[in-house]
Structure 1
Amino acid sequence: MSEIADAQAPPAKDPRKLTSGPFVRLWTAYTVNVAGDEFYTLAVPLIAYQAGASAGTMSLLYACSLLPQVVMGVLGGVVADRAERVKILRVSYLCSALTLLTACVVFGLTGVHLVGLAATAVLLGATAPVAAAAFDSSIPLYVEPAGLSRANAMTEASRTVCVVAGPAAAGVLLGHVAPQYALLVNALSFIGAFLALHSMQARTRSAAAFGKTPSSSFGTALKAGLRHLLKGRSSLQVGVALSTVINVVFGAYEPLVVYRLRDQVHASSSTVGLVMACAGAVSLAVALLLSWKAPSRGFMTVMGVSTTAQGLSVMVVALSDSVLLIACAQASFVSAMLVYTVYWRAMRQAHVPPGFLGRVSGACRAIAFGGAFLGSVVSYLLLNGILAVDTALLVAGLTVCVLGTMVIAWSAVSRKTTAM
């Protein structure tokens, strides 16, 4: 049955327990998928490093995964609002699995090469934002507003469990087996996510909730969604700007940390994986705490504080040559990023009508990933003889610290103005 807009369906009876069947299946598919993604996230920079890539080339490779998300983030949001969201998730997961399986075969026959890694990153980057928009906009259909922060924290808790295991497994596995097997792990996770949603029935929604008639053109629907974002709450606009700048500054953070640990601190691949796993373990505790009790208020203040914490953490990564201290800073960074993600997503879900949520979420992701792509390209240019990796990280951390402080101040002023 066609799903035009799911907003009118009754939400879960008890949002505090978050145990409705559809939400559990969505969460299960997300968890299985992200398990492979976290493995893949660290595996690809390590594979590229083993293939002889420089820090600049690793940044450029990362950019290849971001550019498609700029375009498909917007288009995917429209698709999520107009079509059956569960079906979109299934198709996206299946396409990603086929992409990775193809890469495994090609690398097994010809060996790993950077062009192949870049092509795989582009194809995966095209499907990821479509799935993300469908998933984000599905959550409010099964969870009431009072439970949104906790529901998002629950998904982040499962992600951080994968952060603990994925990087450690990637570091160890890549030290003993061929690189294509690392990609196979991610392919199997997409297949598992697809199976978790097999035969799941989607909820229907009215055309009125969509904001336009079901027969409205793709372009009309897209314009309506963008108009809602640009003319909506100022907190949404500040959130988009904040996410964009963060992504510009930290556009190539992950591969740069890997490169710094491997090339400047001289850590082994297994040690890099352990550092990332320890960071995930700490952030898991944070995610579980938020899953248990996450207030659904003060969104912008929390986002500003967590942004400042991210900046301070990156500055420590840039200045220290101690693996232990870098591991602590990375744990702080990942935990602060988790808190930021939970509250930014919950704020969108709480403030945007469900019929527009796919388009708004997709547009937010597209703008933010546009910033990440720009940041990756800038990193590629700066790291080729202009800035050292540690200097680039220091500048990025300082910039984000200032930005977070400004958002905290803006939030305080906004609260006072509203109270008058």
Structure 2
Amino acid sequence: MTNQPIPMSRPPAAAPAGRFARLWTAYTVNVAGDEFYVLAVPLIVYQVGGTAAAMSLVYACALLPQVFMGVWGGVLADRQDRIRLLRLCYLCSALVLLLAYAVFSATHVSVGGLATMAVLLGFMAPVAAASFDSALPHFVPHHTLPRANAATEASRTACVVLGPAVAGFAVSHLAPEQAVLFNSVSFAVAYLLLHRITSPTVPVEPAHGGLASQWRDLTTGLRYLVTGDTAVRIGVLTSTVVNFVFGAYEPMVVYRMRHSLSLGADTVGLVFALSGVASVVVALLLSWKAPSRGYLVVMALSVTLQGLAVAGLGAFTSLGAVIAAQVAFATGTVLYTVYWRALRQTVVPGELLGRVAGTCRSIAYGGAFLGSSVSAVVLSRFLGVDTALLLAGLVSTTLGVTVVGHAWTRAVSGKGAP
């Protein structure tokens, strides 16, 4: 028997503004820590003498837990007090980083220790994201939800821009273990901001069915990905391939800029910050006026743009060319993300959308994990970073052109292309 959604009690007509302010502030501080961590860890691995392969390995360790928790994070959030679960994720993340700081201070910063830290933090991130997203509607009146979501998105994009620059500066001017301690502060502050706050509403009745029913729901979503709309299958295949070939993209680019181009950590942070600004601008333009047709074509063109940009990053040597290529890659990533979500929301039945979206997230992380793992094996031993970037760019460009051709054929044949 199909499980019915858990009935939720109605949110209060007007939740106290201070409660939302604290939730929003905790989210902003947490996202700032996440964005700092994303670039700081590869830089620290390089700084302690790690190779490109070691940088890819640590990055893969951060991705692996999210392959599994991307699916189950929402299930956990629906069966718990969401703010309590969110607070627990923040506390555990802070404790993991504090423990890493203590170990690194007593001994030395090691690649193995950084990889272990990345795995533990990787379990927390998707659960925290699901808890926040599902709790937010109960902290503001219904008519102010657009403004509340706009506030969280504004803070997220600002952190995406500033986080890499702060990470580059911190790694350049602090000892590696001090940078880890700096990161732990953001999670501790986020935890304290949510102290003594609980969800305004809780499930009226506990969830039923246990693990078996959850698994049945998950397999229904998987079955749709195999038998459902062709455009969705193309999107899943494209996402998997792109995430595989770009699985170790960020650590490879960091290594190339630091090792091959001899750029300082602060300059690396600045390059990523500039690409973050480009991402914000593109997202704002899309939110203002974006075409409502041709989703598959835009996705394919964005994959082609990403491929050309990555190939350029493997070939170019001047700082200006590297910045231009990184900005082009960021632009393609935003375009692909926006239109892939829009395509799923357009063609997937509403009752399956959550499971399909969650499964797609796990598949994407799975492709990225495999790509990072393969990179950890082949880099330096079989391929140089420059060659790996050129090959990844070629694969992505070829895939994009192929999907454009398929979408055009569908349109000409009258089948249409979402």
- How would you bin the TM-score normalised by the shorter chain? 0.7 to 0.9
Cα distance between partner residues in 2 of 1:96 and 1:296? 40
Q: How far off its partner does 1:341 sit?
A: 2.6
Q: 1:266 to 1:242 in 2, by over 3 A?
A: same
Tell me the number of residue pairs that the alignment of Structure 1 and Structure 2 aligns. Answer: 403
Unaligned runs of at least 5 residues, structure 2: none
Q: Secondary structure at the match of 1:174?
A: helix
Give 1:303's aligned residue. 299
Q: 1:151 to 1:336 in 2, by over 3 A?
A: farther
Cα distance between partner residues in 2 of 1:380 and 1:241? 23
Q: Secondary structure at the match of 2:173?
A: coil
Q: How far off its partner does 1:396 sit?
A: 0.5
Give 2:224's aligned residue. 231
Given candidates 329, 333, 336, the residue that maps to 1:337 is 333
**TM-score, normalization: structure 1?**
0.82
Q: How far off its partner does 1:311 sit?
A: 1.2
1:299 and 1:344 in contact (8 A); partners too = yes
Cα distance between partner residues in 2 of 1:288 and 1:409? 29
Give 1:218's aligned residue. 211
Which aligned pairs between 1:6-405 and structure 2 lie closer than 5 A? 28-135=25-132, 157-195=154-192, 199=197, 201=199, 214-231=207-224, 233-234=228-229, 235-294=231-290, 298-348=294-344, 359-405=355-401
Question: Which amino acid letter does the alignment assign opposite residue 59 of structure 2?
Answer: Y
Cα distance between partner residues in 2 of 1:152 and 1:300? 27
1:78 and 1:218 in contact (8 A); partners too = no
Q: 1:62 to 1:413 in 2, by over 3 A?
A: same
Q: How far off its partner does 1:197 sit?
A: 5.1
Cα distance between partner residues in 1 of 2:224 and 2:398? 27
Cα distance between partner residues in 1 of 2:334 and 2:141? 20
Q: Secondary structure at the match of 1:393?
A: helix
Further displaced range: 222-231 or 268-277: 222-231
Further displaced range: 186-195 or 31-40: 186-195
Deviations 1:370-391 (A, max 9, x none): 1111101111222132111011
Further displaced range: 229-238 or 135-144: 135-144
Further displaced range: 380-389 or 72-81: 72-81
Unaligned runs of at least 5 residues, structure 1: 14-19, 208-212
Q: Secondary structure at the match of 1:53?
A: coil
Ranked by relative contact order (alpha carbons within 8 Å, sequence separation 6 or more), the top structure is 1
Q: Secondary structure at the match of 2:172?
A: coil
Cα distance between partner residues in 2 of 1:35 and 1:326? 25
Identity of aligned residues (%): 52
1:137 and 1:357 in contact (8 A); partners too = no
**TM-score, normalization: structure 2?**
0.82
Cα distance between partner residues in 1 of 2:355 and 2:81? 14
2:308 and 2:393 in contact (8 A); partners too = yes
Q: Does 1:406 find its partner at 2:402?
A: yes
Q: 1:190 to 1:339 in 2, by over 3 A?
A: farther
Cα distance between partner residues in 1 of 2:281 and 2:192? 29
The CA RMSD measured in Å over matched residues stands at: 3.7
Q: How far off its partner does 1:250 sit?
A: 0.5
Cα distance between partner residues in 2 of 1:214 and 1:377? 37
